[in-house]
Amino acid sequence: MSADAPVLAPISARRRRADTGARAFVALGTAVAVVPLILVVYYLIKEGLGAWSWDFFTTDPTGSFLGDPGGIKSAIIGTILMVALAAAVAVPVGVGVAVWLVEFGQESKLALGVRYFVDVMTGVPSVVFGLFVYITLVVSGFGGTSFAGWKGSIALALLMLPVVTRSAEVVLLLVPNTLREAAYALGAPRWKVVFRIVLPTALPGMVTGVLLAIARAAGETAPLLFTATIVNATTWNLNDRMNSLPALIFQDVGQAQDRLVEIAWGAALTLVAMVLILTIIARLVQRRSRLS
């Protein structure tokens, strides 16, 4: 063993212990990180599935404290309508800003400023956006109403805008310059290059960003409390007060009434299911995308 002993000194027991210990700690930390997700999903299914029934989805909440609490129809419809309108506002604007940043603004001072402000928007807490819409649109009675579904949509759109812009910008930057140059060489005007070459190429990646933004907005509660408020009846009119799933859950959590709490769990399971489906679709689209 003397002549051809290994050049490297054997790893001492102390170092070996440190290594094993640290690895165990890191693995344990990871396990701990996954536990809350499992617990949340487990409890959602356990408590929420019991509330699910045909009537649960097809009747409005009654607002009755001791009697039959009804279902969550108005909240589902309200969430879908408000989020759809928010997306209809935030997606064109967000993508437009991203296109400007990548195709026109590039590294100019103005573009750096716009990027900075988009970043600022990302950090603004959702409750503050709600407050802002509350001051500017609700208190002033803009549009002849105080609280209204479309005002909730504006608050959600403000939340979605930076997410859409940031993700779209990243994808647009991935569109190969050779594609643009080929189009220019063929004599295509700039607008055609943007609409026929750049946007279609970037589309799958942008869809992912948009779906993630929608999923995030669908779960927001705070901005809706100040803007669309909480009601019982179903309405399709976005100029009326509108119910939403998160707001309904928030209201029912505070009630010391088991039936209402059960409704809250059922609504939470519905909301999480909607958000998860969107997230999964977003991931699938992302995987299909050629650019990423």
Number of residues interacting with another protein: please give it, by CB under 8 A.
92
State yes or no: residue 207 binds another protein (CB under 8 A): no
Give the shortest CB-57-to-another protein separation in angstroms. 18
Please identify which residue in 13, 123, 144, 256 interacts with another protein, judged by CB under 8 A: 123
Q: Which is nearer to another protein, 236 or 288 (CB)?
A: 288
State yes or no: residue 34 binds another protein (CB under 8 A): yes
Q: Does residue 72 contact residue 270 with C-beta atoms inside 8 Å? A: yes
State yes or no: residue 93 binds another protein (CB under 8 A): yes
Give the shortest CB-77-to-another protein separation in angstroms. 18
State yes or no: residue 32 binds another protein (CB under 8 A): yes
**Within 135-194, which residues bind another protein (CB under 8 A)?**
135-136, 161, 177, 180-181, 184-185, 187, 189-191, 193-194
Give the integer Cα–Cα distance in Å for 163 and 214.
Answer: 9
Token pair of 14 as six digits: 């102390």
Please identify which residue in 80, 89, 121, 199 interacts with another protein, judged by CB under 8 A: 121
Q: Which is nearer to another protein, 15 or 288 (CB)?
A: 15
Binding segment (CB under 8 A) for another protein, from list 50-58, 60-68, 235-243, 248-256: 248-256
Please identify which residue in 103, 199, 204, 255 interacts with another protein, judged by CB under 8 A: 103
Who's near 94: CB < 8 A, 6+ residues apart?
160, 161, 162, 163, 164, 165, 168, 213
Give the shortest CB-36-to-another protein separation in angstroms. 5
Give the shortest CB-239-to-another protein separation in angstroms. 20
Binding segment (CB under 8 A) for another protein, from list 24-32, 49-57, 201-209, 233-241: 24-32
Binding segment (CB under 8 A) for another protein, from list 61-69, 105-113, 149-157, 202-210: 105-113
Give the shortest CB-82-to-another protein separation in angstroms. 14
Q: Which is nearer to another protein, 99 or 207 (CB)?
A: 99
Q: Does residue 210 contact residue 236 with C-beta atoms inside 8 Å? A: no
CB burial of residue 227 (10 Å; 0-12, 13-18, 19+): buried
